[in-house]
Amino acid sequence: MKVNRVYKIVRPMRRLGNLINDLINPKETKYAWCRYPLYAKTKHEKDVYMAIIIEHLDNRIEINPEIEIQ
């Protein structure tokens, strides 16, 4: 594939467009977005963040064998 300057700019914009579309129309997408802090003061605080994220994902992800994942 030929890569030029224009393609390097357009490709990340497509990802941003996908993110915006998923945030605006959550019913029509197969993906979910999660916002979490990147920094913690202590290891205990980090463990709490990780537990919250894992619990959130466990509640959001549904098992449906009929859906095809691309």
In a domain? residue 37: yes
Average pLDDT over residues 50-66: 87
In a domain? residue 67: no
For the stretch 13-23, pLDDT in tens is 677 777 888 78
In a domain? residue 50: yes
In a domain? residue 66: no
Looking at the 3D structure of the chain, how many domains does it have? 1
What's the domain range around 47?
5-60
In a domain? residue 15: yes
* Amino acid in the structure at residue 16: L
For the stretch 10-48, pLDDT in tens is 566 677 777 888 788 877 777 777 788 889 999 999 999
In a domain? residue 70: no
pLDDT score recorded for residue 6: 58
Span between the terminal Cα atoms of the chain, in Å: 22
* Calpha distance 38→42 (Å, rounded): 12
